[in-house]
Amino acid sequence: MFYTKKNRPALVLITFIILFSVSCNPSRRAIKAPLKEEGVEYLFNKLKEHELKFDWLSAKFSAEYENSGITLSFGGQMRIRKDSLIWLSLTPMLGIEAIRIMISQDSVKMINRLDDTFFIGDYDNVNRFLNTNIDYDILQAFLIGNDFQAYENSKFRASVDNGEYKLSTSGRQKLKKFVKNSNENLKVYIQNIWLNAQTFKITYADVKEIRKENIKLEASYLNFDDIKGQPFPMNMEFFIRADNNIRVKTDFSKISINVPLQFPFKIPANYKQIK
C-alpha cells in the first residue's frame, strides 16, 4: 500500500492498532508468565498471602437493600471473631437499633425490636428464607473479601481475564475435618474468583451450589484502603441471583482490627419467638 491522501486515515488507524497491541502484549505476557512457570499454586499462594489476617474485626457501615422493587437504606455495625462469631446491629436512619443478629458456626439468632420478636435457628432456616445454600465459612469470606477457609483447593483452574487473574472450579467441597454431618458433605460448589494482578486481592467472586445452579451468590469489592498495613475493600456489593434477586450495597467506615470485642445478645423476656 502506497501513501496517498485518500488512504491516510486507514494508515493512521492501522498504526494505532499496532502500537496499542505492542503496548498491551508485554503486560499480558508478564501477567501470564507466573502461571506458565508455577501454575495454579502460584495464584493460591499469592491469594492466601494477601488475604485479610485478623482475629477480631469491627466496622461501621451504611447499606442499601433492594428486593422485588423495594429499596431500604440503613446503617449499622459489624463485629467478627474470626471463625467463631459474626455480630450485626442494623439501625434505620433515626439512629435506634431495629435488628440485632448473631451468627455462629451452627446457629443464627435475631432480635427484631420493631415488632418485639426473636428468632433462633440454623442455616437451613436462613437458606430457605433467602433461597441460598451458605454456611458460616462462606458468609464470613464474603463479608471480608477473603477466600473460603474450610474448602478444598485442588480442583481450580487459573487463567487471565481482562487484565486480572481468574480462579475457577466446577467442584469445591468442604474439607472432611470441617464436615459435621453427611448432608453437609454433599454440597459441591461451582466458584469463580477474580484477583487484582498487582495486589492479589479479590475484586469479584461468585459461587453456586451444583444442585442449585439457578441460584448464585456474587460479590464485588472496590476502593481498598490501608488498615494497619492491610488493604480492605471499603465498598462492597452483594447479589443473590434467584427467582427474586436481592442486592445489598455496603459502604464501610471506622474499621478496627485485632481489638477484643464484646458480642452482647440478650433477648427481652416479653419478646415472642418466631419460626
pLDDT value for 176: 72
Distinct helix (H) and strand (E) counts, the chain: 5, 14
Cell numbers found for residue 227: 488498615
Residue 138 bridge partners (DSSP): none
Mean pLDDT computed over 219-246: 93
CA 108 to chain CA centroid, Å, is 19
Confidence label for 123 from pLDDT (cuts 50, 70 and 90): confident
Q: Where are the domains of the chain?
A: 48-273
- Full DSSP string of 153-204: -TT-EEEEETTEEEEEEEEEEB-GGG--SHHHHT-EEEEEEEE-TTT--EEE
Q: Is the pLDDT of residue 90 over 50?
A: yes
Type of residue numbered 163? G
Length of the chain: 275
Tell me the pLDDT of the chain averaged across its residues. 85
| Amino acid at position 188, single letter | V
Cα 199–Cα 202–Cα 205 angle in degrees, nearest 5: 160
Contact status, residue 252 vs residue 238, Cβ threshold 8 Å:
no
Q: Look at residue 255 and tell me whether its pLDDT is greater than 70.
A: yes
The residue ranking higher by pLDDT, 178 or 4, is: 178
Nearest-angstrom CA–CA distance, 5 and 265: 79
pLDDT given for residue 120 in this prediction: 95
The CATH number of the structural domain formed by 48-273 is 2.50.20.10
Calculate what percentage of the chain has a pLDDT beyond 70. Answer: 83
Average pLDDT over residues 149-176: 85
